[in-house]
Structure 1
């Protein structure tokens, strides 16, 4: 048995001990697919310097490269939209834009997708191609369509897939539009984060089919959602839990903040709830339901930290400061962003702080609607823009 075969076997056993894979076909796929072949271009290691996050490349000639490929961790493979590990010597301080997702999450999502023999699957976000290969092993090449917006990323994935003997339908394009030529699909799975679920995915999934995607907002609290598609062209479901997040789909990234509003002017009041509440993942998720297009930043001004929420598209903002344990908010623009958040989070707490997995939702061509059963105050409708 070669080194990588043993590493695959050990990885499969470790993942199974952690709860996924639960089923023999997916365990067999993990044991069969060589993850390192999808990381031949290297990956980036994170360096915490106390300041901005830095990244340094790890190439296949590094002593522990092969072993690292089979650890249960996500490995960044692209920085700033174009930069691969081979392009860097030393360190880079830019944001990751593509990665190889940790194997336990990959397998969990594939099992949550509830794939059966003969199902036709569309994957949004090819990435390195590792999850694509697992699906090809499980279903066969012809039943797998994978869509990647970045031609270079798709090309590297295609080379790795070919080296492993897999030949799915590999499409370069905007995954938010799906790929109608191979529709209808029985299953759709997305490895990018979303603010709005594309109607194209619903239209390209047969009634009774399943879509698995991560939904959230621009405060970056998100959860894995499983939706069933209905004959009327809608889809509904609920969140599965686990605090799952992915890089947002590039067309759904938040807009640039631009010039900040004058934060010294606006309606000011004391607030019972402070900005510290959105440090909690669940509370931030519910706050996000009240203000899905708000972005948050922190500013150091006049010797104090100001926590700012800005909805660029609407032009509304809220700035919160703490003095001697008391919070004050100033708000401006057409909406009162913090009033909406405060009302929602208060209602959520009054309802006993239900978990995100208790949230149900329905997606139509016109809106996303979210609710928690038996709590009329916990209902939100977000029209498509």
Structure 2
């Protein structure tokens, strides 16, 4: 057995033992698709103990490349929108913009998708092409359409898929618009995070079909949801849990905060719910549905720690501070952000603070909400 085959076999065995691979059909697909063929350009490795985080390239054939391909880790394949591993000598400090997701998560999502042969699937985010190859292996080429936003990433995936011997429909464009050319679909799966589930996905999924996506709010909490599309053009379904984190679809990245407003003005009152509740991931996920366009930061103002929510588009903000267990909130703008958070979390607490896996996300063409 060659070294790549041995590493591949070990990875599949470890995923099976860990419970990441739960069905024979997807285990067979995982055994058929060698991950290293979709990382031929290399990847970026995080430099240990670097702050801010820096990255160094690991090129094909170099020490650590092949073994790295078969670790259950996400591997960064592009930085700053254009920079590939082969473009860098040394280290780079820019932000990652594309990656090959860790295999256990890819396979978990494919199993959660509940796709069967004969179904048509739209994949949002081709990336390296690894998950696309798995879909084609489990279904068939004609059943799979995959769309990638970045042209360079799409071209590399196209070459890798062709070398592997599969030929799905590959589209370069904005995945948030879906791809009407092959609609309607039985399943849509997104390998990027979305701030809101696009109305186009609802329109392009047949009634009874499903959408699997990671809803990622701007307060920094994200969850995988599986939505069933209804005949009235809406969709609803459970939060599957797992606190997944994907890079946000580029058009869904939050706006820059710019020059901060004068945080010394505004109406002040005692807070019913303290700002420290946002330290909890599940609470943040629920709160995001009340203030979907708000971002969070922490500042030291006049010697005290302030938690700040800012909605750039609505020119609204709220700032909270703790004075010996007594929280005070000050707000300004057309939307009272903390009032909205308190009202929403208050209803959640009245219901007994149910776990996220007990929640249902509902999506309409006009927006999304969480119910429990």
In structure 2, relative to structure 1, the CA distance for the partners of 1:310 and 1:48 (3 Å cut) is: farther
In structure 1, runs of 5+ residues without a counterpart are 373-385
Q: In structure 2, how many angstroms separate the alpha carbons of the residues matched to 1:306 and 1:48?
A: 31
Retained in 2: the 8 A contact 1:146–1:171?
yes
Name the SS for the 2:76 alignment partner: strand
Q: Give the deviation of 1:272 after TM superposition.
A: 4.7
Q: In structure 2, how many angstroms separate the alpha carbons of the residues matched to 1:291 and 1:119?
A: 37
User: What are the superposed Cα offsets for residues 142-188 of structure 1, whole Å, 9 maximum, x if unpaired?
Assistant: 11110001000001111111111111111001111111111121111
Q: Give the deviation of 1:108 after TM superposition.
A: 0.6
Q: How does 1:88-127 map to 2 (within 5 A)?
A: 88-127=88-127
Q: In structure 1, how many angstroms separate the alpha carbons of the residues matched to 2:222 and 2:158?
A: 30
1:35 matched to 2:38: no
In structure 2, runs of 5+ residues without a counterpart are none
Q: In structure 1, how many angstroms separate the alpha carbons of the residues matched to 2:230 and 2:352?
A: 32
Q: Give the deviation of 1:325 after TM superposition.
A: 4.2
Q: In structure 1, how many angstroms separate the alpha carbons of the residues matched to 2:301 and 2:44?
A: 34
Aligned residues: 372
Name the SS for the 1:63 alignment partner: coil
Q: Which residue of 2 aligns with 1:231?
A: 231
Q: Which residue of 2 aligns with 1:271?
A: 271
Q: Which residue of 1 aligns with 2:261?
A: 261
* TM-score where L is the length of structure 1: 0.92
Q: How does 1:1-385 map to 2 (within 5 A)?
A: 1-49=1-49, 51-372=51-372
Retained in 2: the 8 A contact 1:5–1:31?
no
User: What are the superposed Cα offsets for residues 235-269 of structure 1, whole Å, 9 maximum, x if unpaired?
Assistant: 22121111112111111111121221101111123
Name the SS for the 2:289 alignment partner: helix
In structure 2, relative to structure 1, the CA distance for the partners of 1:121 and 1:313 (3 Å cut) is: same
Q: Which one is further off, 39-48 or 312-321?
A: 39-48
Name the SS for the 2:90 alignment partner: coil
Q: Give the deviation of 1:202 after TM superposition.
A: 1.6
Q: Give the deviation of 1:50 after TM superposition.
A: 6.1
Name the SS for the 1:223 alignment partner: strand
Q: Give the deviation of 1:48 after TM superposition.
A: 5.0
Q: Which residue of 2 aligns with 1:383?
A: none
Retained in 1: the 8 A contact 2:227–2:236?
yes
Retained in 1: the 8 A contact 2:39–2:128?
yes
Let me know the Cα RMSD of the aligned residues: 1.6
Retained in 2: the 8 A contact 1:294–1:312?
yes
Q: In structure 1, how many angstroms separate the alpha carbons of the residues matched to 2:202 and 2:347?
A: 32
Q: In structure 2, how many angstroms separate the alpha carbons of the residues matched to 1:321 and 1:89?
A: 45
* TM-score where L is the length of structure 2: 0.95
Name the SS for the 1:290 alignment partner: coil
